[in-house]
Structure 1
Amino acid sequence: MIKKLLLFVFTCVLSISSAFGQADFKLMFYNVLNFPLENAVPNRINDLEFILEDYRPDIFMVCELNNISGAMTILSTLQNINPDYQSATFTLNTSDDNIGNQNDLQQFIYFDSTKFILESQNVVTTLFRDFNHYQLKINSVEQVTTPIIIDFFVCHLKASSGTSNQQSRLAMVEDLFNYIDTLPTGSNIVLAGDFNVYTNSEPAFQKLIDPTNSIVLIDPADRIGSWHNNSNYVDVMTQSTRTQTGLGGTTGGFDDRFDFIMTSENMTTNPNLSFIAGSYDVYGNNENTDCYNQSINSFDCSGTDFSFATRDALHNFSDHLPVTLELQTNQSLSIPEFNTSEMITILGSNVIDNTLKIQVDLRLQNELELYIFNSLGQVVKTVDVNNTLISIDASRISNGIYYITSSKFQFKPLKFVVNH
C-alpha cells in the first residue's frame, strides 16, 4: 500500500510539473547615468540595489556604464541579491576612436546563469558608439535538440535634437541593420537602449520599424507616436525623472520617451519564444498624467503601482527610468535539483492543525512558487515565497495527507498531515 501511494505521489508530481512546462523571463534596460563617475548623489549604488532587489530581472541591460570598475560593482550588487547572476566580458567602446576616444559610455549585460548561457558576444561599430551584441541560449531541458537562441543588442544612440543629430542616429541604425542582415531571418532579436528619439517620424526610428527590413522589429508597447512634450504618451515616458539641478544628468521633468525594448516581429506569437502581451512597462511610471513635466518622486507622479520609496530611489539614481518586458517559452528550464533538507524545511512537526511553518533558503526567496496538493494530485493551494520564513494558513484545508512541491525547482515532495 505504501509503495503504491509513493508511486501515485510521484506521478502527481510529474503531472503537475508538466502542466507548468514553460518559463517566463523578466528583462530590464536601464540608462545608469554615467555610473560610477557621476557622484553628485552619494551612494547611488544603494538606490540601484533597492531597484534591482524589487524587480529581480533575469536579464539586466545597461548603458552609460563608464568602466570595468562600475561593471563589477553592479555585478557584485546583483550577486548580493542572487549569486547566480553573471555578466558578459566587459569591452570598451571603439566606435568613437576617430572623434576623441573618450570611452566613457559603455553598454553591458547581466543574466541569471541558471536560466541563460552566454554563447557569444560581439560589437557592431558605428560612426559614434558601438552596439553590443550578446547571444544567449535558454538553459532548457531541450537545449541540445531544440536550442532557443536570443540575440540581445544593447545601444545608446546619439543624443540631442537637431537635423545633424538625427542623421547621426540614422547612420548608427543603418550600421546595425547591415550587421543584422547577416543573421538568420528567423532570429529572435531583442534591441534595448536609449534611442534619444523625440518622435516616431525620426529617420532612425523609421528605419528600426521598416517592414522591408530582413528582420522586422516592433514596439511591444504598441505606443508609437510623437512622444516629445506630449502628455498623451506619459505612460511610456522615461526621461527626465528630475526637475532639481545639481544631481547630474538632465532636468526638466517627465516629458520624453527615450528608452526602449524592441523585439523581432516573430516574437509576437511564436510558442517557442514570445513576449508576454501587456508586460511592457516603464518601471516607476504610474501612468499618471499629472506627472507630466514633474519629478518622478513628486506627489504628482504617485499611483498604485510604484511607491514613493521606489520612485525616490529611481529619482536619486538616474535621470532615466528603466523599461521592462517579460518573455515566455514553452520549454522547461534545466533547473537544479536541491536537497530539501538544506533548502526547504518544515519547522516543527509535520502534523499540523491550522498553520504550517516553512523555512526557505535565502537564495530561493522571491524565486520560488510552492504548490500544495492532496493525495489525489489536486492542487489545493499556491504559495509565493517572499520571505525565508513562511506561515501557511491551513485552517480551510480538510484533514488528510498533503505534499509540497514546485514547478521551478526539483526536489522530493515535502509531506505534512492536517489534523484539526
Structure 2
Amino acid sequence: MKQWGLLLLFCFGYQLVTAQVTTVRVMTYNILNYRNSTNECNGNTNSASSKEVALDTIVRNMQPHIICFQEVGASANNATYLLNNALNTSSATNWTTTNYTNNSFSSLTNVIAYRSDIFGLISQDVITKDVGNNNLVRVVDVARFYYKDPLLNAQSDTVIFTVLSAHFKAGSGTSNSSQRNAMAGAIIDYIENDAVDANIMLMGDFNMYASSESGYQTLIAGNGFRFEDPINSSGSWNNNSSFAAIHTQSTRNGGSNSCFSGGGLDDRFDQILCSEDIIEGEDGMVYVPNTYFAVGNDGNHFNDPLNAGTNYSVSSTVLSALYSLSDHLPVIADFDIDLQGLNTAELEVPVLENPMRQPAQLADYYLRYGLTIYTLDGRKVFEKPEGEPATVQGLPTGLYIAHWSKDGRSTTTKLMLW
C-alpha cells in the first residue's frame, strides 16, 4: 500500500499543524452514446442538445467537483461540447477536462471533468492492454489530482489522489465476463506497479451482475492491492429487490425508444470503489459515510421506470432530466479532505537548496534517491532512477513538481528551478 500521497510546497521542511476539513463530491455517469450515432441511438432518439440541457440541470443541482463520464463518442471535440454546453453554463466557468484518449478501434471513450478552481491535474495516464498485452475493449483513464488548499503556505501539504475511469465490457456469458476480468486485472496491475498514491478511486460502468463475478473479485479480493466498496453491499445485484436502493440501470421500462435499455431499475452497474486508505482516512482523504447514492433512486422503483408513480428523492426537474438523458443513473459520493492537517514529521526527503540552481549534480548523498520532475501540466522533463547519478540542467526557470522515491517509498513535492 502506497503511503506517501502528499504534495510538499516550495521547500522540504517538517511541520505538524492542526487539521481542518473540506468536503468534495465525485460523480460517475454513463451518458449513453453521447454524440455517438448508432442505428438505435441517433439525433432523433438520443439528441445531443437535449442531453446537454439535462446534464446542465443535474450538475447544477447535485454540484459534483469531479465527474467521470462513460459512453462519450470518440472525438476530442466532444469534451469541448460537454464543457461549453453542459458544464460551463450560467455562472459556472471553472470546469475543464483531462486530455482526450482512446485506442484505435473503440467508438466510445471516457471523459474526466473537474473543477479547476478546486483541483489541479498533476499527470494523466491511460491503460490500454491487459496483463497479457492484449487490447482492452476500451481504455481506462487515469488522472492524478491535488487539492488546491486555500490555506497553503511555504511549509504545508495538500492531498493528492488518483482517479480511474473505466467502462467494462457489457453483456452476460463467459466471454464478456472474461473481458471484464481482463480489464480488472489490468487496473490492479497498473496500481501495484505504476501508481504512487495511497488515495485511489475507481469509478465507472462495471457492467457486473454480482460481486461474485471474477472481475469484481479481482478488484476487491486480491492478494496485493484491493479496492473496497464504500457501502459494503456485496451480493447478487441483478434483478434482486434486496438491492433496489442501489440499482443504477435502467431508468426506463421498454417503450418505443430502442436506444435506451428497458427493464426498469434492476442492476448495480455503476459504482465507485475506493482504496483502503480512503475508507480508513489514512492519508488525508476519507469517505463520508452515508453520502454514496444512485441519484434519483428512491429504493421504490425495482423493475420500474424512474418516473413511475411518485419519486421524491430529487426534484421533478432533476427526475425528468435523469430520465431523458440516459438509461443509467449517476452515482455520487462525498469525501473529506484535510486542510493543512497532515503530519509530515516522519517524511524523509533530501536536504537541498530550493530554489535549485542549475546545473545541479545529484550524486553521492542523492545517489540513493530516484527523482522525476514534471511541469505543472504533467509533462515529464527529467528522470533519475534510484542508485544512478544525474545532473539537472537546461530546464527553463520556474516551478515544477518533483517526485522522489527511495526503497519503495515516495513523496511528491514542488521544486523551484533557476
TM-score by length of 2: 0.69
Secondary structure of the residue aligned to 2:158 is coil
Mean Cα displacement is larger for which, 276-285 or 184-193?
184-193
Distance 2:197 2:35 in 1: 38
Q: 1:317 is matched with which residue: 322, 325, 346? A: 325
Match of 1:241 in 2: 251
Q: 1:119 is matched with which residue: 122, 126, 140? A: 122
Distance 1:249 1:304 in 2: 23
Distance 2:167 2:242 in 1: 25
Q: Equivalent pairs: percent with the same residue?
A: 30
Distance 1:329 1:250 in 2: 37
The residue correspondences of 1:21-420 to structure 2 (distance < 5 A) are 21-37=20-36, 38=41, 39=43, 40-42=45-47, 43-66=50-73, 67-76=75-84, 77-81=86-90, 82-91=92-101, 93-94=102-103, 97=104, 101=105, 103-126=106-129, 127-140=136-149, 141-142=151-152, 145-183=156-194, 187-213=198-224, 215-243=225-253, 244-246=255-257, 248-270=259-281, 272-288=284-300, 291-299=301-309, 302-331=310-339
Q: Write the deviation string for residues 241-269 of structure 1: whole angstroms up to 9, x where unpaired.
A: 11123151311211101000111011123
Match of 2:132 in 1: none
C-alpha root-mean-square deviation of aligned residues, in Å? 2.1
Mean Cα displacement is larger for which, 193-202 or 143-152?
143-152
Kindly indicate whether structure 1 or structure 2 has the higher relative contact order, using CA contacts under 8 Å at least 6 residues apart.
2
Mean Cα displacement is larger for which, 126-135 or 187-196?
126-135
Query: What 5-or-longer segments of structure 1 have no aligned partner?
Result: 1-17, 334-420
Distance 1:20 1:310 in 2: 36
Q: Write the deviation string for residues 86-107 of structure 1: whole angstroms up to 9, x where unpaired.
A: 111122x21xx4xxx1x31101
Q: CA deviation at 1:147?
A: 3.4
CA contact (8 A) 2:76 2:100 kept: yes
Distance 1:142 1:278 in 2: 29
Higher fraction of helix: 1
Distance 1:282 1:137 in 2: 26
Distance 2:315 2:304 in 1: 16
**Which one-letter code corresponds to 1:60 in the other structure?**
I
Q: Write the deviation string for residues 162-190 of structure 1: whole angstroms up to 9, x where unpaired.
A: 01111111111111111111246762101
**Which one-letter code corresponds to 1:225 in the other structure?**
G
Q: CA deviation at 1:146?
A: 2.2
Alpha carbons of 1:186 and 1:86: their partners in 2 closer, same or farther (altered >3 Å)?
Answer: closer
Distance 1:19 1:281 in 2: 31
Q: Write the deviation string for residues 67-121 of structure 1: whole angstroms up to 9, x where unpaired.
A: 2232111112211152111111122x21xx4xxx1x3110111111111000010
Q: CA deviation at 1:332?
A: 5.6
Distance 2:197 2:78 in 1: 35
Secondary structure of the residue aligned to 1:133 is strand
Distance 2:215 2:285 in 1: 27
CA contact (8 A) 1:26 1:324 kept: yes
Mean Cα displacement is larger for which, 162-171 or 81-90?
81-90
Mean Cα displacement is larger for which, 197-206 or 144-153?
144-153
Distance 1:71 1:160 in 2: 27
Distance 1:106 1:120 in 2: 19
Structure (1 or 2) with the larger CA radius of gyration: 1
CA contact (8 A) 1:275 1:326 kept: yes
Q: Write the deviation string for residues 378-420 of structure 1: whole angstroms up to 9, x where unpaired.
A: xxxxxxxxxxxxxxxxxxxxxxxxxxxxxxxxxxxxxxxxxxx
Distance 2:173 2:119 in 1: 40
CA contact (8 A) 1:234 1:292 kept: yes
Q: How many residues align?
A: 304
Distance 1:153 1:284 in 2: 24
CA contact (8 A) 2:98 2:112 kept: yes
Distance 1:247 1:184 in 2: 40
Distance 1:287 1:80 in 2: 32
Q: Write the deviation string for residues 344-369 of structure 1: whole angstroms up to 9, x where unpaired.
A: xxxxxxxxxxxxxxxxxxxxxxxxxx
Q: CA deviation at 1:48?
A: 1.1
CA contact (8 A) 2:285 2:338 kept: yes
Secondary structure of the residue aligned to 1:330 is strand
CA contact (8 A) 2:161 2:197 kept: no
Q: CA deviation at 1:311?
A: 1.7
Distance 1:69 1:298 in 2: 36
Distance 1:259 1:169 in 2: 14
Name segments (4+ residues, structure 1) moved above 6 Å.
none
Query: What 5-or-longer segments of structure 2 have no aligned partner?
Result: 1-16, 130-135, 342-418
CA contact (8 A) 1:186 1:266 kept: no
**Which one-letter code corresponds to 1:149 in the other structure?**
I
Distance 2:113 2:340 in 1: 21
